[in-house]
Structure 1
């Protein structure tokens, strides 16, 4: 029960942060990505704050023997760039640049009634299923 409550609080805090930072607004995100046009640099401050907090928090949290709600930390083991990682990052960037959505903000936007999010999220889920299906083959 504690684990579910912590997950709920963390998810709600993440969604609230996305909404306050206006990352759930695809036009705001597209304005940030349009460096050659009418660029809006405000999301760079959001990213800077997120990276700064993460750098401090990870150093502090990784000193613990295990996470609060788990038996061990699940950290990435990949230490080099491979073709799959680069292709995935490219597809992610293309999708983000075309729609203004990435997975977290898209999920946070679904309940707002935004019709674009209702199209994007199922397409994102289908992409995830296709990835799992092709990865197993």
Structure 2
């Protein structure tokens, strides 16, 4: 049941990204172009996500446990590390260049498979290289 719930959540997430236009790199780059032809669509998508999460953060404390797991897996606060800051910078630069981030990148595989595949493969290679550099398997 947990796998099915994850699949349904992923499908809903991908559909939302597609309907919101976030699988279109030009739309994302348009949002980042503050002094050109600015496209506010991404701001509305982010705003909707914030509303959903605000509701979730209010509901979760009142629940004994999640519907499809034994415990909640809520991240704790952690220190800002050079690795975290470097990763955030690299993510932002890549997002600005490609106009995609991981979620929309995978969703875009269904719409523009070739260009999205280049992004997804590059992202996966980068993740593998990081694991090798950090000595993780």
Q: TM-score, normalised by structure 2?
A: 0.91
Distance 2:8 2:22 in 1: 19
Unpaired runs of at least 5, structure 1: none
User: Taking CA–CA contacts closer than 8 Å with sequence separation of 6 or more, which of the two structures ends up with the larger relative contact order?
Assistant: 2
Helix, strand or coil at the partner of 1:62: helix
Residue segments in structure 2 that go unaligned for 5+ positions in a row: none
**Displacement after TM superposition at 1:53 (Å):** 1.2
Equivalent pairs, count:
136
Kept in 1: contact 2:27–2:41 (CA 8 A):
no
* Separation in structure 2 between the aligned mates of residue 131 and residue 23 of structure 1, nearest angstrom: 26
Which residue in the other structure is 1:53 paired with? 52
Give the whole-Å Cα distance in 2 for the aligned partners of 1:41 and 1:48: 11
User: 2:129 aligns to what?
Assistant: 130
* Paired position in structure 2 for 1:29: 28
Deviation beyond 4 Å, 4+ runs, structure 1? none
* Alignment match, 1:38: 37
CA-based RMSD: 1.5
Cα 1:57–1:91, aligned 2, differ >3 Å: closer, same or farther?
A: same
After superposition, the C-alpha distances for 1:71-95 in whole angstroms (9 at most, x for unaligned) are: 2222223432221111110000000
How is 1:73-84 mapped onto 2 (pairs within 5 angstroms)? 73-84=72-83
